[in-house]
Amino acid sequence: MNKKILIGTGIFVLAIVFFFARGSLTGNAVVGSYETTENLAVKIPVFEISDNAVFYDYDGIKYFVVKAEEGSIKTAFNACDICYQSRKGYRQEGGDMVCNNCGNHYAISGLGTKNLRGGGCWPGYLPNKVEGENLVLKKSDLEAGRYRF
């Protein structure tokens, strides 16, 4: 077999393996997009937010947005307060977000607060507010969580 064809085939196979391995690491994650304004805020249209968590990446800072059963919008860093160094983040299982490091389950309806348990695993607090038709996250709040990543 021609050496160039063999090398080309090998590169193609590696690219396919990388593509599928990368997808499996995100589990059931849906990756979303956002709009930035005047270097102060990230805006996500409220109509795009559902009870299925969407994961975002703002300049290497990872977070998720999901609507709780009662309709409130929850945001959190995709990293634990304690085990963030594992860099494994969360996945959604039904009405819970599950830590990919320790396996703890957190009801989506209970998210959106600082760690109430203190000292344990908890999705990192990321404040948000709804302004008109958009969910707004301050870039300063996102930057405050950069150490997790």
Superfamily (CATH H level) for 32-148? Rieske [2Fe-2S] iron-sulphur domain (2.102.10.10)
Rounded percentage of the chain residues whose pLDDT exceeds 90? 56
SS (H, E, C) 8-53: HHHHHHHHHHHHHHHHHHCCCCEECCCEEECCCEEEEEHHHCCCCC
CA-based torsion, 17, 19, 22, 24: positive or negative: negative
Average pLDDT of the chain, as a whole number: 80
What is the model's pLDDT at position 10?
Answer: 46
What is the model's pLDDT at position 116?
Answer: 65
Interatomic CA distance for residues 141 and 51, integer angstroms: 23
Tens of pLDDT along 26-44?
444 455 555 555 668 899 9
Average confidence (pLDDT) over 137-147: 95
Residues contacting 62, CB < 8 A, separation 6+: 55, 56, 77, 78, 79, 89, 149
Q: For the chain, give every domain's residue range.
A: 1-27, 32-148
One-letter amino acid of 98? V
What is the model's pLDDT at position 12?
Answer: 46
Read off the pLDDT band of 22 (50, 70, 90): very low
What is the model's pLDDT at position 50?
Answer: 96
Per-residue DSSP letter, 3: H
